[in-house]
């Protein structure tokens, strides 16, 4: 089992920044690719960003490229999502997830490729 707990969500004005964190415990954290997903009210969960277990590869959905940065600190068992230039459409519950399997550059984008999920943290961007 891997337990994931998100934190750092909150209310921010459009154009502002926020960093959400995901603390992991349980099985060896460094062996998992990690991802961030988000879900807005009335919408399906969507992929946001992923980082390989090595930290050597990242992948972002087009809508956040250049604005969001995913990173990990394996020694702290923590994954981060730095969100800059936030837009109202970024408003959602943000979830972190750990993948089923991994490779050095593995950055899965499908929810089905993730095995463990956190409870989410709310990010609200006001206009």
* pLDDT tens digits, one per residue of 30-40: 678 999 999 99
Residues 85-99 have a mean pLDDT of 97
Q: How far apart are CA 113 and CA 127, in angstroms?
A: 34
**What is the reported pLDDT for 20?**
98
Cβ-based neighbour number of residue 1 at 10 Å: 7
Q: How far apart are CA 79 and CA 71, in angstroms?
A: 6
**What is the reported pLDDT for 57?**
94
Q: How far apart are CA 127 and CA 118, in angstroms?
A: 28
**What is the reported pLDDT for 123?**
98
Residues 16-38 have a mean pLDDT of 89
CA atoms within 13 A on the CB side of 21: 9
Residues 111-115 have a mean pLDDT of 94
Of 21-30, 80-89, 111-120, the range with the lowest mean pLDDT is: 21-30
**What is the reported pLDDT for 102?**
67
Task: Report whether pLDDT(23) > 90.
Answer: yes
Percentage, residues of the chain above pLDDT 90: 79
């Amino acid at each position: 089992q891997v337990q994931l707990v998100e934190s750092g969500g909150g209310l921010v004005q459009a154009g502002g920044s926020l960093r959400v964190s995901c603390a992991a415990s349980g099985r060896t954290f460094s062996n998992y690719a990690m991802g961030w997903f988000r879900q807005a009210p009335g919408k399906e969960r969507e992929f946001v960003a992923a980082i390989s277990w090595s930290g050597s590869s990242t992948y972002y959905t087009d809508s956040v490229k250049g604005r969001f940065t995913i990173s990990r600190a394996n020694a702290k068992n923590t994954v981060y999502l730095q969100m800059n230039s936030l837009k109202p459409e970024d408003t959602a519950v943000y979830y972190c997830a750990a993948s089923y399997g991994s490779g050095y550059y593995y950055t899965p984008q499908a929810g089905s490729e993730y095995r463990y999920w956190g409870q989410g943290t709310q990010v609200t961007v006001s206009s």
